[in-house]
Chains A and B, each alone.
Chain A
Amino acid sequence: MEYLIILVSAIFVNNILLAQFLGCCPFLGVSNKLSTAVGMSGAVCFVITLATLVTYLLQYYVLVPLHIEFMQTISFILVIAALVQMVEIILKKISPSLYQALGIFLPLITTNCAVLGIALIVVTKEFTFGEDPHMLNLVESVVYAFASSLGFGLAMILFAGLREQIALNKVPKPFKGIPIALVTASILAMAFMGFSGMVK
C-alpha cells in the first residue's frame, strides 16, 4: 500500500518536472520530437534509479560512518558522472541497439538536475506517505526514485506530443520556440495541479 502511495504521489501529485521543477533543461531542450522525448525519458529512468541506489548506499555506509557528510554534493556528482560513463560503456558492449536509442542522451544526463536532485532529496528530506514523518529506507528510496523518473517520463512525453502539434500551427513571432513551449508547460502544470490533494 505504501509503495502505491509513493508511486501515485511521485508520478502525479508531486510531479518532479511540473511541481518541483527538477530537470527542466531537458524538458525544454529535447522535447521537440516525441521519439527523442521517449529516448530521453528511458535513459533518465535508468540512471535516476541506479544513481539513487548507489548514492543512498554511499551516504549511509561511507559518508555518515566516516563523518564526512560535507563531501555529499561533491561525491554524489562524481558518482553520478562515473555511473553515467559506466552505463554508456556497458550498454555499448551488451546491447548496441539500446545504446543507439539512449546513447546520445547519456552524456546530457550528468548535468540533469533531476538525477542529483532526487539523490539529495531521499537522503535529506523527511517524507510522510500516509505515516509519521520519517527518512526513507533503501527500498522506499529506490521506489521513490523510480516513480519520480516515471513522472519525468510521463510529463516529458505528454509535453513532446503537445509541442509536435503546436509546431504545425501558426504562432506569433515573438512566441516562437521556447515561449510558446512555456505557455504549454504552464497549462500542463495546471492540469497536474488537479491531482493535488489526492495523496496526503
Chain B
Amino acid sequence: MGKFRLITKGLVKENPTFVLLLGMCPTLATTTSALNGMGMGLATMFVLVLSNMAISATAPYIPDKVRIPSYIVIIAAFVTVLQFIMQAYTPAMYETLGLFIPLIVVNCIVLGRAEAFANKNSVVDSACDGLGIGLGFTMSLTILGLVREILGSGSAFGFKFIEGDGILAFVLAPGAFLALAYLIVIFRKITKMN
C-alpha cells in the first residue's frame, strides 16, 4: 500500500469515528465547539503518530505475553509528554479539554492501531498510518464540533453569526448523541453513493 493511500484511508474508508466507531468518549465529550473538537483531534494525532512509531520500532523485542501492558506504558508516556507540552504552551486548551487529555491513554483508537497495524509494519508506514487515522479523527471531531456549535450557540470556530442563544440541547449531552447519530447516517449515505 502506498504511503499516500495509508494517509488518506483514515479520512473516509477507515474513518475512526463514522465508520469504525472508536474513541467515542472524547468524540462526544469534547466537541462542544469546532475548535475544541479540533484540539482534541490534534492531541490524539500527536500521541497516535509517536506511539505508532515507538511501538513499531520496539515490537520485535517485546515478548508476546506482555505486549498489551508494554503498549499501554509507551502510550501513557507519550500522553504525559503531551500533557506537559500543552500545559506549557497551550494552557487554555489544556484546561478546556481537561480530563480527556490523560484519557487518550485509554482511547481505543490508539491501542487499536498499535495492535492492528504498528506492531507488524515498518516505522515509516506506522507513522503514516497514525497520521492518516489521526487526520480522520481530527476531521470527524471538527465536523461534529462545528455542527454542534452552529446549532447550539449560533457560531462557527468562535465567530458568532446568529445573535442570541442557539438550540442549547446541542451543546449539552443529548445533542452530542443526536448530532453524532445523524452525522453517521449522512456519512453512510454519502460513502454508499460513491
**A positions within 8 Å CB-CB of B:** 18-25, 27-28, 70-74, 77-78, 81, 110-113, 115-117, 120-121, 124-125, 174-175, 178-180, 182-183, 185-187, 189-190, 192-193
Q: Is the CB of B184 within 8 A of A182?
A: yes
Q: A residues within 8 A CB of B93?
A: none
Of listed B23, B25, B77, B169, residue having the most chain A CB within 10 A:
B25
* B85 at the A interface (CB under 8 A): no
A175 to B187, CA, bound (A): 11
Shortest B72–chain A CB gap in Å is 6
For chains A and B in complex, what number of residue pairs have CB atoms within 8 angstroms?
A: 118
Q: Among the listed A20, A21, A77, which residue makes an inter-chain contact with B105, where contact means beta carbons less than 8 Å apart?
A: A77
Shortest B14–chain A CB gap in Å is 16
Chain A at the B interface: mostly helix, strand, loop or mixed?
Answer: helix
Q: Among the listed A20, A78, A193, which residue makes an inter-chain contact with B29, where contact means beta carbons less than 8 Å apart?
A: A20
Q: Is the CB of B28 within 8 A of A111?
A: no
Contact residue range for chain B? Answer: 35 or more
A192 to B105, CA, bound (A): 28
Give me 29 A-to-B residue pairs in the complex whose CB atoms sit less than 8 angstroms apart, sorted by A's number. A20-B29, A21-B24, A21-B28, A21-B29, A22-B25, A73-B80, A74-B80, A77-B72, A77-B73, A78-B72, A78-B76, A81-B69, A81-B72, A113-B25, A115-B106, A116-B103, A116-B105, A117-B25, A117-B99, A120-B103, A124-B99, A179-B182, A180-B181, A182-B178, A182-B181, A183-B181, A186-B174, A193-B173, A193-B174
Beyond A20-B29, A23-B25, A73-B79, whether A78 also contacts B111 by CB under 8 A is no
